[in-house]
Structures are given as structure tokens and as C-alpha cells.
Amino acid sequence: MKKLLIKEARLAASPLSFVFVAGAFITLIPQGYPLLVGSFFVTLGIFYSFINWREMNDIIFSLLLPVRKKDVVKAKFLFVSLLETAAFILQAAVTLVRMAFLSEASAENPLMNANGLFLAFSLIVFAAYNLVFVGGFFKTSYKAGVPFIIYSVVCFLIIGVGEALHYFPGLEFLNTATFENSGVGFIALAAAAAVFVGVTVLACKKAEKRFENTDF
């Protein structure tokens, strides 16, 4: 698995996948911008690797290696998850800095602030990507456009829900820019982390079965 992962990163992946991890720094924008779009940009960068893999016939090449068929799928999911985790760590670091030292700049932000709830929704976006796009890609192991369009619709629905929540009466505290009243947000973050792991594992298992039944 380690060698397959190295192959993904060094030989097959698009450089844009690594560059777009920097989309996590959109979290620095103090107000007036939907911060969750940064998570979408991270997944867009990963999408370019799938295009790269398709154009390079990487799937066929991987099947010629002395590895199990399901390990090819696991390596792809692991590569995707590592990039998502790297982006999330950057988002979390920037969020903590903002909440601790830059909260005044976000005090009047009409959109979602960087807080625990924002991080929770970011993980939900990544979970949706792994389930809808990566899992959808392995239906054929070739077609990437349709699964990405479907994922994009789902992603922006998630972003819309995240942006709308704090406008509901009684939920204004969800848009806190400080550590005050942030308990619910961090509880949501813990739940979202469990969802991310669970959904990714289930999507991988389902993709493995699909890949086993795919003829090349």
C-alpha cells in the first residue's frame, strides 16, 4: 500500500491537487465571502488528479502491478483522504488563530464565520466528495464529469445549509467568531469527524466491490 501511495503522489497525481490544498487559506478572509468554498476548491484540485489518472491510463497500469485489485481503490481513497486531511488541518489552524486573535474583524460578518461549525461543515463537504464523486468515479473507473457535477450540486447545497443556519431564530450563536458560545460548534465538529471517517470507509468498501466487477 505504501508503494502504491507513493506511485499516486509522485507519478500519477496532478500537481494542481497539491496546489489547491492552499484553498484552505480562504479561511483567512475576514468577512463577506463563503469560507466553505475553500473546501470545494480543495476537492476541485483533487478532481484534476482523477482526470490525470484517466488520461494516463493509470488504472490499467495499476492493474498490471502485482497488487490486489481492491488495493488500487484503497490507494486512491487514501491519497484523497490525506489531501483532505492536510487541508482540514490548515483550516483548523487558521480558524483557531482567527477565533483567538482576529475575532473583531469578523464581528459583523453576514456569512459563516470560521469556528467549530465551519470546520464541521468542511468535513461534511469532504465526506460528500468521497461518497458522491470518488465512489461515483469507480462505477466505471473512467467517467469523471457526471460524478463531479452531481457532487458540485450536493456540495453547494451543503454550503447553502451552512450559511443559512445562523439566520434561523435562536441559532444566531452558531455564527460566533470567538470561543464564547462555541461549544455546540465543536460538538458538531466531533460528530462530523465521525461522519467523515464512516462515510469514507463505506464509500471505499462499495467502490472496491464495484471495481472488482469492472472489466477492462
Query: What pLDDT score does 10 carry?
Result: 85
Q: Residue 2 — pLDDT band, cuts 50, 70, 90?
A: confident
Domain that holds residue 70: 2-212
Residue-level pLDDT at 151: 98
Q: Which of 83-92, 135-144, 159-168 has the lowest mean pLDDT?
A: 135-144
Flag whether pLDDT at 148 surpasses 80.
Answer: yes
The answer, as to whether pTM is greater than 0.75, is yes
What average pLDDT does range 12-27 have in this prediction? 95
Burial class (CB in 10 A: 0-12, 13-18, 19+), 194: exposed
For the ranges 67-71, 102-106, 129-133, 147-151, the lowest mean pLDDT is seen at 102-106
Supply the pLDDT for residue 216: 62
pLDDT score for 11 = 82
From residue 109, alpha-carbon distances to 79, 113, 119 in Å are: 35, 7, 17
Helices (H), the chain: 2-7, 15-19, 37-55, 58-63, 69-101, 116-128, 135-137, 145-165, 183-212
Total domains, the chain? 1
Mean pLDDT for the chain overall: 94
Read off the pLDDT of each residue in 15-42 and give the average, rounded to a whole number: 96
